[in-house]
Chains A and B, each alone.
Chain A
Amino acid sequence: MITYLEAIREAQARALADDPRVYIYGQDVGSFGGAFKATKNLAQEFPGRVLDAPISEDAMVGSAIGAAIEGMRPIIEMQFADFSTVGFNQIVNHAATLHWRTNVPCPITIRLPSGGTAGAGPFHSQSMEALYAHYPGLIVMTPATVEDAYSMLLDAVAIDDPVIFCEHKYLYYHLKAEALPTEAMPTGKARIARAGRDATIVTYSAMLHESLACAEELALEGWEIEVIDLRTIKPLDTDTVLASVARTGRLLAVGEAFPWGGVTAEVVARVATEGFGLLDAPPMRLNAKDTPVPYHPNLWGTHRPTAKTISARMRDLLRLLGKDEG
């Protein structure tokens, strides 16, 4: 068995082994193996290529951009996604604009240990994907499975653009797979994680698992819910989403990030503008609440969507416009 976190470690090991241009830079990533052990033993296995960084996120990203211009393929580990705000300027203004301005690509990968866990509080829990997706010039990956954590990270390193790799801390240890994948869906394609015909949930990252649990629960009531895992939120695979809504007529977009704007709003906007006629009911969304992420597990558990609250919202959606015969 291999965990989501081990898959991330294995992908980096393989990237280092396969491509001499790859190096890893981040706080405590060296002999310590990283705060979460995502680089365990890599400094020992690849001497000189896995370097401890000072607490200088701006310089970590800025230096990666310079190295990329010189032909390297840096992987930057933020200790927590939340601290990437300190490197925000370099990411959104420098890395994201480089190719567009100069025709020189910027192949850097920035790993963001993202999302909430119990007791982590407002500064070790954030989901920042929408912030980065807002900027032209960045690719934003949000793997929800062990297989995707592995194959998408390898893709991130290979891609000629800056990739923000949002790996979810909640999935690190308890999400497991039999083995690493030998083949993968292409980047940019969403996946139908569960087929259905009554309604579509579009989601990504840790919320995939809450959504699948919701589909499981509603199946007991006779509903067949289709669940789509976006995999990358930028680019967003609108075709797969529209095709699903064409089959089900109902849409609920679910995310763990703050409610204003964001991925779920983007999904709803695209379906409303490009697929309005496919809808049998108004599209819905469910996100975290509009406050910082709270510390106490009781508050945190209510702040984020869960299988229970997704199911409640889904029942509302199914009741709309007479599909409640279930």
Chain B
Amino acid sequence: MLQATAAPSPLTNPAFSQTYFAAYRWMLLARLLEEKIASLYRGGKITGGVFLGRGQEALSVAVGLALRAGDVFAPLIRDQAGRLAFGESLLDCTRTYMGSRLGPMRGRDGNVHRGRPREGMFAMISHLGAMIPAVAGALLARRFRGITGTVGATCLGDGATSTGAFHEGLNMAAVEKLPLVLVVANNQYAYSTPNARQFACADLVDKAAGYGVTGHRLDATDLETCLRVLHKAVADARDGGGPQLVVASLLRLAGHGEHDDSHYIDERLRESRLGLDCLKVAEQRLLAEGWADAAALRGVEINAQRQIDEAVATTLREAAPDPNEEDWCALATRHLSEASHAE
């Protein structure tokens, strides 16, 4: 039976510096992994799209770290760091991007559309907002099943707050007082569309009041802030506080996908606080506080690079899916499948 275990707070000293450093390691691993994915894409080893979370690692890792085994997590396109921190393997990422049969998606779905629902990590569909009610439903099921003390978190962008699914999902979670944490990465743009064309409220967190849920606002270029706010939001949800709407301000330091040069992003935003690279900020903090020295950071990087190289090398050796061996059946109820005569 699923049951989350209680842990001592990782956010007070002396544990805090370790938590911070651990978070940084996931962030760096995510950053370097995504850089590798981007280069594989440019080299023609990945077909389709590549979507990076560059600049959003601090927020994402904080979500992953605030959750525990037994919780539900539905990450979105820019959550490589949070996925790793929650427990996704590097191979799940590389195999899905390269379409390996051995990956969780078996070549059927690709890139960021991956997960292991049985292990609490949902596999996003592209339709924005759609994961919110699904996570709410998982939490409802836990109530039916008598499982307490677990939470569900899902991430989305500023643009996804304009969907009907966002409204319906958050509202129903509020009505049922579900332990849902909704993390909005407000990176100021949805593809090319700036916030001014997306919503008219002064701050997205204002929406929390309308739904009758608790709102949290934060600057997501700062890792400590991310860790503290996400820790609190998740703890409050876990303690019966109902849905939590977390709105984080930041900038995406990459194109919408790797095909996009993001020329439309306002230079003034890039030069503002929002344009800070959370990874660099965290690195400077580690050094300034003496929590790590240059040699230690170098060690982290070498170790990360080695793990990535291993995962990529393994994946590149794996056979591509063979259509003749593929099981062309979409149903779990196999005897009801029409695959043999429908084509």
Residues of chain B lying within 8 A (CB to CB) of residue A124: 126
Q: For the complex, give the distance between the alpha carbons of A123 and B342 in Å.
A: 21
Given contacts A55-B160, A299-B326, 14 further A-B contacts (CB under 8 A): A32-B193, A32-B264, A52-B197, A55-B129, A85-B127, A121-B109, A122-B125, A259-B338, A287-B343, A288-B343, A289-B342, A294-B108, A296-B107, A297-B99
Tell me whether B128 and A291 are in contact (CB under 8 A).
no
CB contacts under 8 Å to B, within A9-39, are 27-28, 30-32, 35
Q: Which of B48, B127, B330, B343 contacts A120 (CB 8 A)?
A: B48
Q: Which residues of B contact A (CB under 8 A)?
A: 46-49, 99, 105, 107-111, 113, 125-129, 159-160, 162-165, 190-193, 197-199, 264, 320-323, 326, 328-330, 337-339, 342-343
Interface size of A by CB at 8 A reads 41
Residue A177 at the chain B interface, CB threshold 8 Å: no
Q: Which 6 residue pairs are nearest across A and B when measured between Cβ atoms?
A: A119-B48, A119-B47, A296-B99, A302-B323, A32-B192, A123-B126
Q: For the complex, give the distance between the alpha carbons of A86 and B49 in Å.
A: 22
Tell me whether A123 and B125 are in contact (CB under 8 A).
yes
The residue among A27, A85, A120, A260 with the most chain B CB atoms within 10 A of its own CB is A27
Residues of chain B lying within 8 A (CB to CB) of residue A85: 127
**Chain B residue with Cβ nearest A285:** B343
Query: Is chain A's binding surface mostly helix, strand, loop or mixed?
Result: loop
Tell me whether A290 and B320 are in contact (CB under 8 A).
no
Tell me whether A295 and B198 are in contact (CB under 8 A).
no
Tell me whether B190 and A27 are in contact (CB under 8 A).
yes
Tell me whether A298 and B330 are in contact (CB under 8 A).
no
Residue A292 at the chain B interface, CB threshold 8 Å: yes
Residue A286 at the chain B interface, CB threshold 8 Å: yes
The residue among A30, A123, A260 with the most chain B CB atoms within 10 A of its own CB is A123
Residues of chain A lying within 8 A (CB to CB) of residue B113: 121-123, 295
As a 0/1 sequence over residues 44 to 57 of chain A, the CB contacts with chain B under 8 angstroms (1 = contact) are 00000000101110
Residues of chain B lying within 8 A (CB to CB) of residue A86: 127, 163-165
A52 CB, min distance to chain B CBs, angstroms: 4
Residue A118 at the chain B interface, CB threshold 8 Å: yes
Residue A83 at the chain B interface, CB threshold 8 Å: yes
Q: For the complex, give the distance between the alpha carbons of A4 and B126 in Å.
A: 26
Using A31-B264, A55-B160 as known contacts, say yes or no to A296 and B321 having CB atoms under 8 A apart: yes
Q: For the complex, give the distance between the alpha carbons of A259 and B340 in Å.
A: 12
Residues of chain A lying within 8 A (CB to CB) of residue B264: 31-32
As a 0/1 sequence over residues 106 to 128 of chain A, the CB contacts with chain B under 8 angstroms (1 = contact) are 00000000000011111110000
